[in-house]
Amino acid sequence: MDLRRIRHFVILAETLNFRRAAERLHMAQPPLTVSIQKLEAELGVKLFARESTGVTLTASGRAVLVEAKRLLFHGNQLRETAKSTIEGTGGTLQIGFVGSTTYGMLQKLLPLFRAEYPGVELILREATSVDIMQQLEDNALDIGLVRVPLLQASRATLVQLEHDEYIAALPRGNALADKGLLKLLDMAGESFIMYAPTYASGLHSTAMLACQQAGFIPRVTQQAIQIQTVLALVESGLGVALVPSVMQRFVSDKIVYRPVVDVPPAAAIGLALAYLAETESPAAARFRALATREFVPDKRR
């Protein structure tokens, strides 16, 4: 159904005069008459009763007017939705994130994005970096906030947002907690809580590499997928762990964090934004620009 004819009908119903309606619509009167006749033929009812002084709405016309106004409203909403989606100021944005982004990164990015683009609906999904990258490939996510390094091949582009380093997480009461600074070799005799190699491959490989370059292979007694789970196991006294320094924000009276002075550069870790350049939506591009602005240093300064 042509929304232009619906609008012609509504304006005529409001003015009840073809000349005045034509003036409001900025059109000649004969095309308006033809438009109303075509609408009546399409609906199969008479909408107006013609009189010498003008026109009046029929019972059918009065009933149709209510729905016609509603239809015009939703038509305008549809146009605005389409426009805002194309411009990246509306629609939905699906973001996958790893748990450690909730220790500062998400708290910074989400309020800023909502303030700048209130028309975009955010859908947030927590997952591992491996799962997030797969969901990006499957077009189930628009943006991923993942922990790097990533060991699996991907078509996604990565923008490094935060650089981090390993620190030691120790159960309170562990003998190493009495030291202010640690070397990796200090931890050689400890039971380790380690990251699962399948689902947290980047953290697993870098933590193992750091220990091996220090001259020992850690004695792994427990494995976990999420960093928060690793810390929960440390809290339980099951062992020590190497965790990203940002996790010091996870405060517990059962955990002591200590700097490790000799973590090799090859074991560098961090957080990155992942996206597929060939299918990036306007809203995703706006989120990426905001994240880059807030976290990536401007080298020109």
Owner of token pair 């517990």: 252
- Cα 37 to its chain centre, rounded Å, is 49
Mode of pairing for the β-strands spanning 269-275 and 91-97: unpaired
| Cα gap 39→5, rounded to integer Å | 6
Termini Cα distance of the chain: 57
Q: Say if residues 144 and 135 touch (Cβ distance below 8 Å).
A: yes
Mode of pairing for the β-strands spanning 157-164 and 269-275: antiparallel
**183: which strand partners?**
none
Amino acid at 14: E
pLDDT the model gives residue 300: 41
Classify residue 242 by burial, with Cβ atoms within 10 Å: 0-12, 13-18, 19+.
buried
Q: Quick one: three-class SS letters along the chain?
A: CCHHHHHHHHHHHHHCCHHHHHHHHCCCHHHHHHHHHHHHHHHCCCCEEEECCEEEECHHHHHHHHHHHHHHHHHHHHHHHHHHHHHCCCEEEEEEECHHHHHCHHHHHHHHHHHHCCCEEEEEEECCHHHHHHHHHCCCCCEEEEEECCCCCCCCEEEEEEEECEEEEEECCCHHHHCCCECHHHHCCCEEEEECCCCCHHHHHHHHHHHHHCCCCCEEEEEECCHHHHHHHHHCCCCEEEEEHHHHHCCCCCEEEEEECCCCHHHCEEEEEEECHHHCCHHHHHHHHHHHHHHCCCCCC
- The pTM of the full predicted model, rounded to 2 decimals, is 0.71
Q: Say if residues 231 and 167 touch (Cβ distance below 8 Å).
A: no
**Paired tokens of 239:** 């062992």
pLDDT the model gives residue 88: 64
Q: Quick one: which of 240, 234, 239, 238 has its CA closest to 252?
A: 234
Residue 225 phi/psi, 5-degree rounding, is: -90, -50
Regions of the chain where pLDDT drops below 50: 299-301
